[in-house]
Structure 1
Amino acid sequence: MEEIYQASSAAEVPQTFAFKGKGSELFGIQLPNWVLTVVTLGIYYPWAKAEKLKYLYQKTEFAGSRFKFHGTGKEMFRGFIKAVFLIGLIIGVTIALFVKLPEESKFMGTLFLYLSIGLVIPMAIFGQMRYRTSRSSWRGIHFKYTGDLKTMYTIFLKGILLTLVTLGLYLPWFMVDIRKEIMGNIRFGNIRFSFDGEGGELFGIHFKGRMLTMLTLGIYFFWYQSELHQFYVNNILLEQDGKYSRLEANVTGKGYLKLLVGNVLIIVFTLGLGTPLATIRSMKYVINNSELFCNLDLENLEQAEPDTIGAAMEDVSDILNLDLV
């Protein structure tokens, strides 16, 4: 893939991204959302989430045009109810097993919990990608996810098995396999995404990052995070009519240090009220330091067939903290 990309790179025109949100604007959205979520005992959360996503998408610009999120609180609420029921059922059965089983058999409750979550995660990843891409657009063209749930389960179960057998050493290859499956099935009109990172490279980043983080008493952590970000972004390819384009992240360890330390101070000293500002700072740093070395014909994109999937697995992934897009 690398050779194909290099062969088609002569006509590349770098296109930059820009995030134009403001902390005060997001705070104005988030504050009433927080209040309504608390007052309604969490019921308003899907509407709050939809409003936040719409704002963040609307403030993200590429090649002079803004992205849009078309999801609604109503459809997210239906998904939220299903997600809460599913996770609640798993937790309820686990508690029942712990209460009813003899002391020496209570490992069955733990086993049930881990197996259930393990079976739900691939479904949650798949559902989140289907829903989030179908509700995302740029210049009126919608994204689409064409992955297969059976394939996701095959990759996930194989990865879990090999990670256990190798005592965790296979985990970077597992993460890359999932990333390749996800990115390889994203479509934007007649543009196909792919991911050409390798597990060995990710293993090296983790090994070096963790060793140096320990040796420097945590100082290298920020450079470690910047290398991880570059790995996941710089290995994304876009193909249109045989021509390839590549994303590139220009983040640095020093930049991550200023960003993360600043965000922690903002959140701590405002007792959490500064979270919207921290979100804006993070979005600006990541997006404004991204560009696409572009061979794409952005004026001749073809609309993908709309996807009508619901938001149930979007909210399961949210509950399990699976942030993919």
Structure 2
Amino acid sequence: MIEHDYASDATLPDDAVPDYPPAPLAFGFSGSGGEYFRIWVVNLLLTVATLGIYSAWAKTRRLQYFYRNTQLAGASFDFRGNPVAILRGRLLAVVLLAAYHYAFGFSAVAGAVTVGLLVCLLPFMMRSALRFRLSNTWYRGLPFGFAGEIQAAYRVYALPVAMFILPGALVALLPDRPMVSAVFLLYLLWPLMHGAMKRYQHGSLTYGDQRAEFGASSAELAAPYVVSFVMGIVGIVVLGMMIYAGSRLRADTGAGGIAAVLIPLGGILLLYLFIILSALFVMVRMNNIAWSDTRFPGVRIESAMRLRSYFRLQAVNVLLTLLTLGLYRPFAAVRTWRYRLAHVHVEAPDGFEAATGQASRRPATAAGDGSAEFLGLDLSW
């Protein structure tokens, strides 16, 4: 293979020098586990002392720390959310959760009305939460935003909300009807529902007045679940084989054989490993597909997380968190954030400054932004 001598380009006439595209831009993170540990400890103590009320301020401080220490092209991000709005949203969520939990204890009618209200309210609240989180995320003096329509929110979120609410409600209303269990078949549609939610979220992102383009379909986003399902089948088959081998060993050697106990136990641990790996695989693949298909005018995002390295990271995080009785958790959060940033880069063929310079402040819509600010549930995604 013949290598190109880039140094020789300097001797060519100006109009003959090839125009090489700018190098991809990498994210940087200037924070540390030790710094965040101090913030985390204060947040934890004040949240406990105030019976959870301070958790809204703790959330704001956490996001501000991570965002303000995240840099791209020499500029940092920022979070400007109002903790009072987050607190109002959390109190509303607690009231709705309590109503759902206790409504059937009063009467079937009260339970049915509560379920109906939740199905009607939650899609609106989830959209408002996305608007709140993104509209309070800033970069280079401009806010991000969420332009998803309310009708699309109900199309995307109504079925998942019903999927999680209806089974418990139907069991409470119709405890002796065997056909009630058929509602659990809705869970088979979860991959497509999850893909539709990701498509709605990423396709509705805005930066200033620039709206993102999103090319992946719901089926493409759901594809990792197929691989995860195959991994689960393999795990079940392996578990069955090991249990069978253990039972045969007990029959041949008697009940006291150590191997007859260890082999099935090893199979169970292996099944748990398959479950964890399949869950992480879905998360990593969907994250890569979603962000790599998200584009703003003149800007392309590329995510390249790897299952092996991410699994190793999380295994170490869980082990050290358990060994330190939870004190390693802030360090684990920093390590995870740094890993995710390290596997994302931004490409701007015509120059990043030129691309971001095209964005301007989006005109405010008082009704939509007001509802987002009022609810402030701040869902993480």
The alignment's TM-score, normalised by the length of structure 2, stands at: 0.69
Equivalent residue number for residue 38 of structure 1: 48
TM-aligned CA distance change 1:11 to 1:55, over 3 Å: same
Structure 2: how far apart are the matches of 1:185 and 1:224?
22
Structure 2: how far apart are the matches of 1:191 and 1:11?
23
Percentage identity across paired residues of the two chains: 24
Structure 1: how far apart are the matches of 2:313 and 2:218?
28
Equivalent residue number for residue 279 of structure 1: 333
Listed as ranges, the gaps of 5+ residues in structure 1 are 1-9, 102-107
C-alpha RMSD of the superposition = 3.0
Equivalent residue number for residue 104 of structure 1: none
Structure 2: how far apart are the matches of 1:128 and 1:262?
32
Aligned partner (choices 90, 93, 103) of residue 93 of structure 1 = 103
Structure 2: how far apart are the matches of 1:71 and 1:160?
26
Equivalent residue number for residue 143 of structure 1: 144
Contact 2:137 2:143 in 1 (8 A): yes
Matched residue type, 2:216:
G
Matched residue type, 2:134:
T
Equivalent residue number for residue 210 of structure 1: 229
By percentage of residues, which structure has more strand?
1
Aligned partner (choices 339, 359, 378) of residue 301 of structure 1 = 359
Which protein is bigger by CA-based radius of gyration?
2
TM-aligned CA distance change 1:54 to 1:149, over 3 Å: same
Cα deviation for residue 64 of structure 1 reads: 1.4
Structure 1: how far apart are the matches of 2:100 and 2:37?
35
- Residue 298 of structure 1: SS of its match in structure 2? helix
Contact 1:29 1:52 in 2 (8 A): yes
Is 1:180 the equivalent of 2:210?
A: no
Equivalent residue number for residue 322 of structure 2: 268
TM-aligned CA distance change 1:168 to 1:305, over 3 Å: same
Structure 2: how far apart are the matches of 1:156 and 1:81?
21
| Larger RCO (CA within 8 A; separation ≥ 6) | 1
TM-aligned CA distance change 1:39 to 1:246, over 3 Å: same
Matched residue type, 2:380:
D
Listed as ranges, the gaps of 5+ residues in structure 2 are 1-19, 165-182, 236-269
Cα deviation for residue 260 of structure 1 reads: 1.0
Cα deviation for residue 184 of structure 1 reads: 2.4
- Residue 305 of structure 2: SS of its match in structure 1? coil
Contact 1:184 1:195 in 2 (8 A): yes
Contact 2:291 2:302 in 1 (8 A): yes
Contact 1:18 1:288 in 2 (8 A): yes
The alignment's TM-score, normalised by the length of structure 1, stands at: 0.79
TM-aligned CA distance change 1:136 to 1:224, over 3 Å: closer
Equivalent residue number for residue 10 of structure 2: none
Cα deviation for residue 259 of structure 1 reads: 1.2
TM-aligned CA distance change 1:31 to 1:162, over 3 Å: closer
By percentage of residues, which structure has more helix?
2
Task: Report the count of equivalent residues.
Answer: 297
Structure 2: how far apart are the matches of 1:162 and 1:272?
33
Aligned partner (choices 43, 53, 76) of residue 86 of structure 2 = 76
Structure 2: how far apart are the matches of 1:20 and 1:87?
38
TM-aligned CA distance change 1:224 to 1:153, over 3 Å: closer
Cα deviation for residue 110 of structure 1 reads: 7.0
- Residue 63 of structure 2: SS of its match in structure 1? helix
User: What does residue range 123-134 of structure 1 map to in structure 2 within 5 Å?
Assistant: 123-134=124-135
Cα deviation for residue 159 of structure 1 reads: 6.9
Structure 2: how far apart are the matches of 1:277 and 1:23?
4
